[in-house]
Amino acid sequence: MAGLVKDESNTGINEVDAPAFRSMIALLVLDSAKEFQHNREEMRKMRQELQKTREVYSEVLER
């Protein structure tokens, strides 16, 4: 993280770099949210496939 300079309070972020740091955190949160949404969609698809499989097995067992 170029440009980050330790300040007197030893936080590692000075006032000039705080906006850049907040932007970086916002991008990480956005990326996590996109990944979460993708995983939700994948889980929905898997549940649908599982339901179809259950229906097929039920039909086979009824015969």
Task: Indicate the number of domains in the chain.
Answer: 1
Residue 39 included in any domain: yes
Cβ 44 vs Cβ 50: under 8 Å: no
The stretch 17-26 carries a mean pLDDT of: 85
Query: Could you tell me if residue 12 is inside a domain?
Result: no
Task: Give the CA count within 13 Å in the CB-facing half-sphere of 11.
Answer: 8
Residue 63 domain boundaries: 34-63
Question: What pLDDT, on a 0 to 100 scale, did the predictor assign at position 17?
Answer: 73
> Using one digit for the tens of pLDDT, what is the confidence trace for 39-63?
999 999 999 999 999 999 999 998 8
Q: Is residue 52 a part of any domain in this protein?
A: yes
Q: Do the domain assignments include residue 60? A: yes
**Mean pLDDT over all residues of the chain?**
84
Tell me the pTM. Answer: 0.57
pLDDT surpasses 60 at 2: no
Residue 11 falls inside a structural domain: no
Q: Is residue 55 part of a domain?
A: yes
Q: Is 8 within the bounds of a domain?
A: no
Distances (CA, A) of 32 to 9, 23, 28, 37: 30, 14, 6, 9
